[in-house]
């Protein structure tokens, strides 16, 4: 076999390309949020609490953030240690606690939302408006088909 008969690399599958792009975007967002001591998971919890505007049970938060309750407990532990969230008793169930966004948590969530928006603008800057709209439509179609 001579040099001109090199073996061609197999084509990259569409799902590999989508996953690779998603991981790249995730890495950029994680890196940007790291500058203020947050991860995407912590930002997600702070955002859900900010949207709720009231204390939320950990089980409900786990559902809203699509994670298991044990992971949510660990996230709340870390956010509580950072004084961004506090646990409060559930007035309707003494056995349950809820997570409450602190004033510092609200400030950090606002700062993180700004950072995420700026990072997204930078990540998607190479795309024109029509390409962004197409990407949003296609991602929505994929999400609808997910089990």
| Domain coordinates in residue numbering, the chain | 29-142
pLDDT at 134: 95
pLDDT at 7 over 80: no
Give the pLDDT mean for 125-129. Answer: 94
Q: Which CATH architecture has domain 29-142?
A: Orthogonal Bundle (1.10)
Structure tokens belonging to residue 65: 């953030």
More confident residue, 1 or 146: 146
- Region of poorest pLDDT, from 2-11, 76-85, 128-137: 2-11
Looking at residue 143, what is its pLDDT? 82
Q: How far apart are CA 39 and CA 43, in angstroms?
A: 6
pLDDT digits (tens, 9 = 90+) for 14-38: 889 889 999 999 999 999 999 999 9
Q: Quote the pTM value.
A: 0.83
pLDDT band at 96 (very low <50, low <70, confident <90, very high): confident
What integer pLDDT is reported at residue 69 of this predicted model? 87
pLDDT of residue 112: 98
Query: Contacts by 38-45 with C-beta closer than 8 Å and gap 24+?
Result: 38/108, 38/112, 41/65, 41/67, 41/71, 41/75, 42/75, 42/78, 42/79, 42/84, 43/109, 43/112, 43/113, 43/116, 45/72, 45/75, 45/76, 45/79, 45/85, 45/99
Range 87-114 average pLDDT = 92
Nearest Cα residue to 75 out of 107, 47, 116 = 47
Is the predicted pLDDT of residue 10 greater than 80, yes or no?
A: no
Average pLDDT, rounded, for the chain: 90
pLDDT, tens digit, 9 for 90 and up, residues 38-74: 999 999 999 999 999 999 999 999 999 988 988 999 9
Beta strands in 14-57 (DSSP E): 56-57
CA 98 to chain centre: 21
* Integer angstrom CA distances of residue 39 from 17, 77, 108: 24, 14, 12
């Amino acid at each position: 076999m001579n040099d001109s008969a090199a073996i061609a690399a197999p084509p990259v599958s569409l799902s590999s390309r989508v996953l690779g792009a998603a991981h790249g975007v995730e890495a950029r967002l994680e890196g940007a949020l790291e500058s203020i001591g947050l991860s995407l998971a912590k930002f997600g919890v702070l955002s859900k609490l900010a949207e709720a505007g009231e204390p939320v049970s950990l089980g409900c938060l786990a559902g809203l953030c699509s994670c298991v309750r044990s992971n949510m407990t660990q996230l709340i532990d870390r956010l509580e240690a950072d004084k961004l969230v506090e646990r409060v008793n559930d007035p309707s169930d003494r056995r349950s606690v809820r997570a409450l966004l602190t004033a510092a948590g609200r400030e950090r969530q606002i700062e993180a939302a700004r950072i995420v928006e700026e990072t997204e603008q930078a990540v998607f800057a190479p795309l024109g408006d029509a390409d962004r709209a197409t990407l949003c439509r296609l991602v929505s179609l994929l999400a609808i088909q997910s089990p």
